[in-house]
Amino acid sequence: MTSLASEQQITLDILARLGGDYPATAMLLALLWRSADRMPVQVSSRSLAACTGLGYQVVQRALQRLECRSLVIARKIPRATAAYQVNVPVLRQLLGSPLPSTAFLPGFTPIPALARFRDAAEAGAAPPTPFT
């Protein structure tokens, strides 16, 4: 990974290194979006589910998987939610690890059919839908 990697490339790197675990990737990115790399962030699983469009139980299981990998440190707060912090050294170590060796990695392996879709869009088709 280069030092000038785009957010999209880093997202793909995380997704690939987490074995395609989209819910865990989404939770990690949602916590980073809330600055959990700098300080513990108090947020409920329901709030994370609402902001990512994932189910509540999917979010809880994804957070547990991130905790098991030491990517996220969780501290339970009585009668409230939890405080989550991204373990930045472990995240950097994950990003520095080699990509899985497979014949096809979505986002990394060029797909000629997608290039044709891009060419069609440039020829006057509707613009791609931006994600927010």
- Nearest partner of 66 among 45, 38, 39, judged by Cα: 45
pLDDT of residue 69: 97
Residues 57/92, Cβ–Cβ less than 8 Å: no
Quick check: pTM over 0.75?
yes
Q: Look at residue 99 and give its three-state secondary structure.
A: coil
pLDDT tens-digit profile, the chain (132 residues): 444 578 888 998 999 899 889 999 999 999 999 999 999 999 999 999 999 999 999 999 999 999 999 999 999 888 768 999 999 999 999 999 988 787 777 777 778 887 777 766 666 656 666 665
pLDDT of residue 78: 80
Phi/psi of residue 43, nearest 5 degrees: -155, 145
